[in-house]
Every structure is written in structure tokens, then in C-alpha cells.
Structure 1
Amino acid sequence: MSAAHLPNVAGIDSTVPGPTHTAASLSGGPAAPAPPGALIQDRLAAWVSDLTTLHELIERLVRTDTLDAALAELLRAGSALVGARRGMAVLEPADGLGPATTVGLGLAHADLGHIETVPRSATSYGRILDGLPDPGAHPDLLGEAGLDPRHREVAARLGYAASYALPLAAGESGEAGESGGGAATTLDSAPATGLGRLGAVVWLYDEPAEPVERQRHLVGLYVRYAAEHLARLVELQRARVQVATVAEELLPSRLPRVPGVQLAARHRTHPRGGGDWYDALPLPEGALGLAVGSVSGSGPSALAAMGRLRASLRAYAVMEGEDPVAVLSDLELLLRLTEPARSATALFAYAEPGLRKIVLAGAGHTPPLIVGEHRTEFVETSLSAPLGMLSCWEAPSVELSPAPGETVLLYTDGLLRRTGDPMDRAFARLHAAAASVSRADRADPGAVADHVLRTMLPEGLDRPVEGEDVVLLAARFDG
């Protein structure tokens, strides 16, 4: 009768080399006595090798700047450390504030879906996410008598026979602190963010297997550092969401409906929060005020200054909107008195849709663009300094009359700067993009704005660009 089959033990990947200083004994004779200190040298060599490998993996990890990239790098490095081919990382902060995501290694989207059909309490990662005790290692899943039937079915279908899971916990000591060894004393000073449990990571073996003690120790140290890095990225993502929320709240929640004109707006705040803004407000006697602007700086202070400036412009527009120069003059005085260290650009247009007449003035701002069936041209505006740059600002206004069906585009220079081209080429690209709007799209200001954005920024508005907001306000005048 053959002996009982024992599970295989996962071998150490070539990424984590083992000690090689012990010479093999001669065949057919007694082993040569080890020189004094050879065992200590072997252990030191192994620790140095482990530390070097760990340092290289952590260096690669800290270069990631998004959650998905960090989770993917965590899975890749961890698979090398524990000798597994596939894995899954689930980000689900215990405080319930998000963000939540799942990333797989060697698993297709459908495979992740199959795994998620298994009851959470029947999986290692699920028990970790629910705060339940779990051994972490399941060296022979299909051989476990009490395995959930659905888990057995999914494991057989996807072809994995063992798993090893670890919690992702920031600011808490994990398995890394429980294992002995020289690496722990060297790498035990990771900064803690205090977010607590962030999620779980699990690696899947194709055959019955489990990591040995040295592998557990190394991957435990690595996961501990990965959790701290992920916690910082989570906090950054949350801050960006909060900044974007504040920026959106400071801008119009909806555009007004004024007879004779159709409006559409597109806006994106850069990750740190910028000061670009737009506004459209109905004025007495069927008139309409249109404004775009940009406050210098970024972050919460720029957002606050933008909110104050926009609110002030609305008040001035109601009182003297038919004179855009007076509106911007009042705004300049307010900025100089209340924000002495800040400058801003702005453009205000007083539109009478019934007469198809616009009177506008700009302060260091980009010129509007008229898009129609028979012309695509920039509005000739006089040169003027930004608000807050001179002791007294003043510039002449400009009057224009859009033809029936023409659209006037107001925008901030972030649209031009995001292209990465010099300004003269960026203006040329904007003109070409507007001129290429199809006849069918010209009837919808939203379609005009979307076409211009797609043409100018093929990578889309969601690509974060440090320091550059995008604002585009389109007003189409009916016939």
C-alpha cells in the first residue's frame, strides 16, 4: 500500500533566491565538516538576499500612483514571493467610505465574477473582509471536507486547488510583525496611516500547495508596506473626490432656460482642485449673462476664491449686466481689496437672444469662438490685463451679432494647455476642431462641445492633468 500523498510545498520563485553558500556533500563518502561560521554566513546571505529582493519590490510598488496600478503590482510581486500564478486583490475599506474595487492577476473579468458568486463566509478573502478569523492558507481546497459546495464548484471550474490569503491593513501589525528574522527588525518602521482594514489579497495555486515559513515572512512584510501605500492612495482618492464635489457644488447645478438660446457646459476640475469656472444666469427683460473665468492657484484656497468671485460677478451682473466693462471693473476692485495676492481672468457677455446681440468684455481671457454654417472665427477682442494685475483695470467692450443657428463657445485656457501644444498651435487646433463640426451636430450645443473636446483631447477629460481645469460653455442662438 502506497503512503498517503502530502500536499506539495510551494517552491521559492527565482525572484527570491535561496542561500547558495552550502556545498553539497561528496557522493559515496561522509560529508565534509562545515567551516566555522558557515551556518551563520549562510543565514546572513539569505537575509541580505531577502532584504535586497524586498527593497526592489517595494521600490516598484511606490512608483505606482493609482489604486488599480498599486493592486496589480501587489499581486504580481506577491505571486513571485509565494510561488503562485494567479491571485485577486479586493479593496473594501472597513469604514465604508470607499473606494471599492477588485483587481485580478491571471484571472479574466468573468473569472472574478465566478469567484464572487461564492458566499463570502466560505472564502479566505471574504472572511478577512468580514472581520472573521481565517487561517489564511488552504493547501488543498478540493480535499477539505467542509468546503462550501459552490466554492468547490468554482475552484474546479477555474482550475485552482489551493489558496493563501492575507489582510490589507494599514496602521496595524500583521503577519509581518509576527514572524522572526533579520528582515523584520530592518523593515519594521513603516509609517502608519491608521485607516485600519482596507481589504484582502489572495493568491491561488494550480495544485495543492502552501508557502513555507520564509515565504510567509517575506510576503507578510511586503503586504504590510503595500497596505500603507494603498492607504495613502485611498486618502488621496478620497481627497480628490471631495475637491471635485466642492468644485461641482460651486458651479451651476443646472443651466437656465431662456427663449431664443440653447446652452450646454462641460467642466472638469484637475485632481488638486482648480479655479476655473463658468456661469449662465437669466437677467431682466429676457437677457442672459454668460461668464467664464479662471482664478490663479490650485487647491481649496483657489476653489474658495473662485466661489467668492463667481458669486460677486452674479451680483454685479444683476445690477449692471448691460455694461460688461462695469461688471468686470467692479470685480477687479473686489479682487484687489479682498484677494491682494491673487489674479484672475474673466469674460462676461450680456446677451439679448431675441435680438441676437451680445456685448462682452474680457480681462486677460481667451477670445470666444463663433461656430456656424458659413463661418468659424474667433471674436476680435481688445488686449487686456488679467484682474488684479494693474492698479486700475479697464478695457473696451465688443459687440457681435450671431447669425441664426450659430454657436458661441466660451472656454478657459486649460482646454488649450491640456493639448500640450504651444498656444498658437493650440488655438489653430481649436479652430480646426470647431470648423469640423458636422451640420447635424451644429443644431445641438452639447454635441458641438463634445465634438470639440473629442477632437482637442482624444484621451478624454478623465485623464488627470496637474494644474489644468477645462471649462467649455456653448450658447446656440435660434433662428
Structure 2
Amino acid sequence: MSVPHPPKVAGIDPSLPSPSHTADPAAPAPLPPPNAVVLDRLAGWVSDLTTLHELTERLTRTRSLDSALHELLRAGAALVGARRGLVTLEPADGLGPVTTVGLGLGRADLGYIETIPRGTASAAHLLDGLPEAHAPRPEVVHPDLAREAGLDPRHREVATRLGYAASYAVPLDPLGEPTDEGGAPVGRLAAPAGRLGAAVWLYDEPTEPFERQRHLLGLYCRHAAEHVARLVELTRARDAAATLHQELLPARLPRVPGVRLAVRHRTGPDGGGDWYDALSLPEGALGLAIGSVSGSGPGAVAAMGRLRASLRAYAVMEGEDPVAVLSDLEMLLRLTEPARTATALFAYCEPLEAPPGSAGGLRIVLAGAGHCPPLIVGEHRTEFVETSLSAPLGMLSCWEAPSMEIEPAAGETLLLYSDGLLHRTGDEMDRAFARLHAAAAGAPRVVRQDPDALVDHVLRTVLPDGLAAIDRTDDVILLAARFD
């Protein structure tokens, strides 16, 4: 009997043995998922460093002490999540400057905060209540002023009045100056020593910054303190140079019959060598002078003082001859200041004898040495007085230039000015001269009658940004003499 065969299905012979197959290769084991906590922490560090870098870059770009303090407050408020704040600058060496700057606080608010007794809170002057710089946590935190026990009643009253419920204060302590092997400081000179001041940020609701915020603010404030210390040093140097420059200029203008004088001047931040003078001379005459010494800084200021004092002496001895005055000044400059040059203009104003029954006139003899030509302003004319194309003092082996003579009419004004007035316009020199001429010519009649009003009008018209622009280093002098 034959064995039955299983039926074939779709061409497959079921009697054949199934082929043997090798096992599939094992898939590689999946990598463990990354630690989300570590990634979050790294991302947070990168974000913090980026933020800190951007804020410190913005602070470093500030060029004045006031702008640096304002930037410090804005950056600190962003780091700790506050809306208002104030910073008090009061260097520990007592040499100043002393100032308080607010963020979101007006002058009245700052004055109200100053009424908090010192030593009772971080808000008042901020300094007495802060720990020393070497303390573990040199900060003062008031997370809830309304509930804080032992708080001075005046502090709580001021907080309620101004609407803040918490505060966080930190000191401004620059790092110590580098010293040599003998312990002598190197690097900065006359830098402020010790604490510079402190900053406090105010919260509208009870709260306090997180540990991460405190850490970032601490890093930022250490950098800010160094930057502020450099600006304090620079401010002191500029103030000293400006004070010296101010002391070397006339303390007051002389009183001369028939002449009214007015002057406006501003010294550049580096202490320039521009100067002016007005002095009474024998026989009722008046001497007017203006000039500039090359260079800037204390050296230029000292040279300017010596040059101005010498010109006064020459003007008393031979003021009626302006060319002789400038010639003597040029010889002195070549002998005593061979590395410097200077510009100068001297005008000798003397009254003329009047015939009986008529009013006397005035004669002006002037000479210039490379200085800008003066401007005569009157009701019927506004024109430059050409003082010849002479070279500045100290540039030629033998200086000489002719003098000019004018007779101003009653009511006319002579304007002497420094080249810094033209440079501050930002225009080319020909356009700057045109702007000055247009400003003087466009002065209303009532303004021309008062030399003080006239110089103010010219400055407002020629310099729309005013004399106090911190980004300009040029000295500006504008001297007006009105002849009645």
C-alpha cells in the first residue's frame, strides 16, 4: 500500500525539508538617554554667560560716570527681576565724587529715601548697613518689609509711601590694586581705594532674588565696580585739570567805561590749552586777547598759563602796538616752549578824543597769529575782520604780521572766539564760519543790545547740542565786547 503524499500548494513541495536559516544579527543596544538635568544645567550656564557678557559689554561702552551708573542700575534690575533701584557713589577715601542716581525714582523719591536713618537699612545712603567686602555674603536683603521684625519705623513708612515691599542691596567693592614685590601699587594711579558705594533694587511685592540671580549679580557688580573705579579716577583727573584751567583764566571781567563784556567758555574733558583775557590798560584803554596752545592735558594748561601771564606783561608795556606784543610772545615761546606752537589774537581798544560838543569814538588796533578772525556785529553790518594770513607762533624762525585798525560804531559788538567753537559744529571750516556768521547776523535787535544775550544766542544757534556735550573734547570760548 502506497503512502499518501501531502498535496502541493502553490508549487511548494511539502515533502522537502524546510531550509535551515542563520539567526538575524542582534541589534545594537540603544544608548542610554542623555541626562536631561545635566543638559538643562549646561544650557542655563551658557545662557547666563551670554547674558553676563552682553551686559558687561554694554557697561564697558559707557564713557561717563553718570551713564555707567545708569547702566549698572538697568542691568542689575534685569538680573534680579526688579523694576526700580538706586545707586549711591561715595568713595571711601573721601575724595569724591558723591552722587546718587535712581532708576524709576524721581528726585523727590530719592530725597525721601535719604530721610531713612543711616545704619538702619540698605536704602538710605546704603553704606552703613552693608557688611564688609570680605564678608561671606556682603549684601542686605529685606524680603518683606511689612512683616520684618525690628525694622526702623521710618524705613517702613518710606517703603509704604513709595510703594516698594522688598529690597536687595549689594556693595560696589573694586578688586585691590596690583602691587609690586615691595607692596607698592602699580597700574592705576590715584585710583579710589576701598568701597565706592552701593546699589539697591526695590521690588513692588515681597520677594527676594534666587541664588542664581545673586550669583550673576555678584559677578556683574565686581566687573562694574572696576569700571566705575576707572571712571571715578578719570573724573577726578578731568575735574582737577578743569579747576586748574579755570584758575588760570580771569576771575572776572574788568569794568571799562563805554564797554560791556561777556564771555562763555567750556574746557574740554582732557584740559585744553585755549585761553582768553581782558585787562584794563593805562589811559582808559582795554586789551582783549584770545589764543590756544597746542596739545592737551596738564602740560598744555600750564603752558597756557605761562603764555597768558607773559602776554599781560607785554600788553601793559607796549599794548598800543599789538604786533610788538605778539612778536615778544613769539620769541618767548620759541625760547621756553620750543616743542609747542600757539595761536593768538590781541586787540588794543582806546578811546578817541572827541571834538567839543560831540561824543567820543573808539579805535581798535589788532593783530593775529594764526587765530580765527574776529567778527564785528552791528545793526548795519556783520562781517569778519581779516587779521591777515599770519602763521601761528613758534612755526617760523621770524614771525611778523601787519596790524589792522577798525573804528566800531556805537552799538556794535566785537566777537572773539576759539577754533573749538567751529570744530564742535562738525562741519567743514568754511561751513562752520558761515554758520557762525549767520547766527550773529540773525540775532534780533534786542539781543544785539546785550552782550550776554548775544553770546547765548550765538552758542544756541551754532551748537544745537550745547556746550555740555560729553563726547566733544574741544575747548570753546566766546568773548563779546559791546561798544556803547
Aligned with 2:380: secondary structure?
coil
The answer to whether structure 1 residue 396 and structure 2 residue 394 are counterparts is no
What CA distance in whole angstroms lies between the structure 1 residues aligned with 2:368 and 2:321? 12
**Retained in 2: the 8 A contact 1:295–1:302?**
yes
- Equivalent residues in 2 for 1:171-190 (5 A)? 171=175
Aligned with 1:305: secondary structure?
helix
**Retained in 2: the 8 A contact 1:359–1:398?**
yes
Q: Specify which of 52, 58, 66 is matched with residue 54 of structure 1.
A: 52
Higher helix share: 1
What CA distance in whole angstroms lies between the structure 2 residues aligned with 1:316 and 1:61? 51
Aligned to 2:274: 276
Spell out, residue by residue over 1:88-111, the C-alpha distance to the aligned partner (whole angstroms, 9 max, x if none).
211222233222222222333333
**Retained in 2: the 8 A contact 1:171–1:191?**
no
Aligned to 2:153: 149
**Retained in 2: the 8 A contact 1:247–1:269?**
yes
Quote the offset at 1:45 in angstroms: 4.4
- Equivalent residues in 2 for 1:236-251 (5 A)? 236-251=234-249
Quote the offset at 1:370 in angstroms: 0.8
Aligned to 1:164: 168
**Retained in 2: the 8 A contact 1:164–1:202?**
yes
Are residues 194 and 433 of structure 1, via their aligned partners in 2, closer, same or farther at CA, if it must alter by over 3 Å? closer
Quote the offset at 1:269 in angstroms: 0.8
**Retained in 2: the 8 A contact 1:90–1:102?**
yes
Unaligned runs of 5+ in 1: 1-32, 174-189
- Equivalent residues in 2 for 1:170-249 (5 A)? 170-171=174-175, 193-249=191-247
**Retained in 2: the 8 A contact 1:369–1:379?**
yes
What CA distance in whole angstroms lies between the structure 1 residues aligned with 2:107 and 2:124? 18
What CA distance in whole angstroms lies between the structure 2 residues aligned with 1:315 and 1:100? 41
Higher CA-based Rg: 2
**Retained in 1: the 8 A contact 2:113–2:123?**
no
- Equivalent residues in 2 for 1:72-471 (5 A)? 72-126=70-124, 128-130=126-128, 133=131, 136-171=140-175, 193-354=191-352, 355-471=361-477
Are residues 114 and 128 of structure 1, via their aligned partners in 2, closer, same or farther at CA, if it must alter by over 3 Å? closer
CA RMSD of aligned residues (A): 2.4
What CA distance in whole angstroms lies between the structure 2 residues aligned with 1:225 and 1:34? 41
> Which shows bigger deviation, 315-324 or 153-162?
153-162
Spell out, residue by residue over 1:87-134, the C-alpha distance to the aligned partner (whole angstroms, 9 max, x if none).
221122223322222222233333333322322333214474136648
Q: TM-score, normalized by length of structure 2?
A: 0.83
**Retained in 2: the 8 A contact 1:418–1:465?**
no
**Retained in 2: the 8 A contact 1:261–1:353?**
no
What CA distance in whole angstroms lies between the structure 1 residues aligned with 2:106 and 2:402? 62
> Which shows bigger deviation, 38-47 or 131-140?
38-47
Aligned with 1:121: secondary structure?
coil
What CA distance in whole angstroms lies between the structure 1 residues aligned with 2:468 and 2:95? 22
**Retained in 1: the 8 A contact 2:174–2:229?**
yes
What CA distance in whole angstroms lies between the structure 1 residues aligned with 2:335 and 2:246? 26
**Retained in 1: the 8 A contact 2:82–2:201?**
yes
What CA distance in whole angstroms lies between the structure 2 residues aligned with 1:263 and 1:86? 48
> Which shows bigger deviation, 45-54 or 408-417?
45-54
What CA distance in whole angstroms lies between the structure 2 residues aligned with 1:383 and 1:135? 66
**Retained in 2: the 8 A contact 1:93–1:99?**
yes
Aligned to 1:178: none
Quote the offset at 1:244 in angstroms: 0.8
What CA distance in whole angstroms lies between the structure 2 residues aligned with 1:65 and 1:467? 13
Instruction: Letter of the 2:382 partner, please give it.
Output: T
Quote the offset at 1:167 in angstroms: 0.8
Instruction: Letter of the 2:64 partner, please give it.
Output: T
What CA distance in whole angstroms lies between the structure 1 residues aligned with 2:122 and 2:472? 40
Are residues 93 and 388 of structure 1, via their aligned partners in 2, closer, same or farther at CA, if it must alter by over 3 Å? same
Instruction: Letter of the 2:162 partner, please give it.
Output: L
> Which shows bigger deviation, 134-143 or 213-222?
134-143
What CA distance in whole angstroms lies between the structure 2 residues aligned with 1:85 and 1:132? 22
Instruction: Letter of the 2:143 partner, please give it.
Output: P
> Which shows bigger deviation, 207-216 or 40-49?
40-49
Spell out, residue by residue over 1:215-255, the C-alpha distance to the aligned partner (whole angstroms, 9 max, x if none).
22211111111111111111111111111111111111111
Unaligned runs of 5+ in 2: 1-30, 132-137, 178-186, 353-360
**Retained in 2: the 8 A contact 1:267–1:472?**
yes
> Which shows bigger deviation, 370-379 or 271-280?
370-379
**Retained in 2: the 8 A contact 1:273–1:303?**
yes
What CA distance in whole angstroms lies between the structure 2 residues aligned with 1:293 and 1:49? 56
What CA distance in whole angstroms lies between the structure 2 residues aligned with 1:34 and 1:138? 46
What CA distance in whole angstroms lies between the structure 2 residues aligned with 1:131 and 1:232? 25
What CA distance in whole angstroms lies between the structure 2 residues aligned with 1:41 and 1:233? 40
Spell out, residue by residue over 1:284-342, the C-alpha distance to the aligned partner (whole angstroms, 9 max, x if none).
11111111101111111111111111111111111111111111111111111221221
Instruction: Letter of the 1:305 partner, please give it.
Output: A
**Retained in 2: the 8 A contact 1:171–1:195?**
no
Are residues 229 and 38 of structure 1, via their aligned partners in 2, closer, same or farther at CA, if it must alter by over 3 Å? same
Instruction: Letter of the 2:447 partner, please give it.
Output: D
What CA distance in whole angstroms lies between the structure 2 residues aligned with 1:356 and 1:112? 56
Instruction: Letter of the 1:85 partner, please give it.
Output: R
Instruction: Letter of the 1:67 partner, please give it.
Output: L
Quote the offset at 1:415 in angstroms: 1.0
What CA distance in whole angstroms lies between the structure 2 residues aligned with 1:459 and 1:36? 59
